[in-house]
Amino acid sequence: MTDAVQTLTIVMAQMTQAVGDLAANADAMRSVRARHPEADLILYPEFQLIGYPPEDLVLKPALAERAAIMLAELALETGDGGPAMLVGSVERDGADLYNIVALLDGGKIVATRRKHELPNYGTFDEKRIFVPGPLPDVVDWRGIKLGLPICEDGWLPKVCRHLADQGAELLISVNGSPYEIDKDERRLTQVFASRVAETGLPLIFLNRIGGQDEIVFDGCSFVLNADGTTAHRLTDWEEEERETRWTKDGAGWTCAPGAIAEWEAHPADIYSAMIVSLRDYVTRNRFPGVVLGLSGGIDSAICAAIAADALGPDKVWCVMLPSRFTSQASLDDAAGCAELVGCKLDTIPIVPAVEAFDTMLAGSFADVDVDITEENVQSRIRGVTLMALSNKFGPMLLTTGNKSEMSVGYATIYGDMAGGYNPLKDAYKMTVFAVAKWRNENVPRLSRNPVAPVMPETIITKPPSAELRPDQKDEDSLPPYPDLDRMLHMLVEEEASVDDVVAKYGFDRDAVVRIERLLMLAEYKRRQAPPGVKLSTRNFGRDRRYPITHGFRTG
């Protein structure tokens, strides 16, 4: 940077994180800085020092204490004359906790700013943990007036307007913005384009990548000039360090044009979300791989493909668990899927265990008709068997139920719901079909298993069935999945009433009433389901927190 402060090099570090591992996060930031010694400023995502979201972990006093020590150490390191650093962290002031960014330069912390707008919706509950900071002042750094809105501060107009009124020359928004379908374009073309239009200032939007439990971050960082044009778009789903070069004239700061990454369209972006979330969950929890039941159906087949893409096929163990109701077609399809994916496949028939349970329960079940109980026993035997393999050999058990099934309770608690993670937890059945069709014809950019197709076409085209009784089909007890998903999307994502659904689609009212009833009754199952990646605006869990026991119905 010249003495006249007419040029500026800012590095955007679109990074992953490790929640709670301050030393690893600090070392990763040091490595970025070492790779860009000629830069003026390096930007890191929101809360990069401690990881995001920290949830109640941040309430431990020791975490804030160690974060303060680590931040001071990082600040001292900037005394070498190299780049300044903008670092997201936590700050304790008495009993109050704040979400902050700290500007480190010249061997010290030259400024901190506290997040003003605390999100309290969907996956966010920051008001429960943090105290809002005041409307932030601009930071005068090397003669430049910086506005530093932290994530939600930039999603609403007040903070950016205030910073502009204070004379800010450049807005830098560091974020921890989780993936949702269509959110990448909404951030760019609606939310932050509006901040630029309202303030007349250029803006840097920096986001992280990587999975953290049920949420996943897609990156998709960008730079907007004051005229609203896009100067840079960073890659989605991958770490990237982008040098941006700025010049100042009488009209203010302008960023020189750079690479404009093409962000993935549907359903490729959904598939990438599943890959990244599963990969980070398995590796960060130190599992050697995964095991799953491969039934010959579409849900388990696409889960096997996702797992192989995320981890490599050598870390995926599929197990076929046939009963006397399992068709030869399912056996053939499961074998064909495992061969195409390239993963290990074992077969463990459950017939002896089913017969043993029949004998055990014969006295108690005497003179009582066979019903769904016996079907559920089969599912639970499969769950016990797969968990035994997981316990004995170490791989994490994947569950494979989709959001349509979990919405209406079409899953067996302690059976097919048993496991550690579910890539399809927030994917409706029609989304599963779309993803499977796409994956059979494409190799994902992030794949560690670059093969296609990954399943026999018959898996996609045959009618879905749990195969727990003769000639069983899902549509014996559920509406056709295209209709069911339309009902559920309105009831779950839009919180619509039965009458709203009937008015929009013309479905039989009794059918919608039944689906709403099943949706409400299945809440207790969903509370006991494993985590799975969030894809929609209303995933089961953090986004949608219904009571288990209640009597309200709209139909």
Q: Is residue 115 flagged as an active site residue? A: yes
| Cα separation, 63 vs 50, whole angstroms | 8
| Cα separation, 445 vs 65, whole angstroms | 40
| 3 state SS for 378-435 | HHHHHHHHHHHHHHHHCCEEECCCCHHHHHHCCCCCCCCCCCCECCCCCCCHHHHHHH
In 289-303, which positions are buried (b, 16+ CB within 10 angstroms) versus exposed (e)?
A: bbbbbbbbbbbbbbb
Alpha helices in 328-371 (DSSP H): 328-341, 351-361
* Of 192, 266, 180, nearest in space to 231 by CA: 192
| Cα separation, 402 vs 417, whole angstroms | 11
Marked catalytic residue, from 91, 117, 151, 315: 151
List of residues 6+ apart from 128 with CB closer than 8 A: 120
User: 3-state DSSP call for residue 76?
Assistant: helix
Q: Give the tokens for residue 149.
A: 């809105």
List of residues 6+ apart from 4 with CB closer than 8 A: none
Beta-strand runs (E) in 49-94:
84-93
* Of 208, 207, 142, nearest in space to 170 by CA: 142
Sheet arrangement for strand 290-293: 344-347, 316-320, 290-293, 396-397
Marked catalytic residue, from 91, 115, 315, 429: 115
Cβ atoms within 10 Å, residue 64? 19
List of residues 6+ apart from 148 with CB closer than 8 A: 86, 101, 103, 113, 136, 139, 163, 171, 172, 173, 174
Q: How far is CA 134 from CA 46, 117, 141, 178, in A?
A: 18, 9, 20, 25
Report the chain's C-alpha Rg in angstroms. Answer: 26
Q: Which residues are catalytic?
A: 46, 115, 151
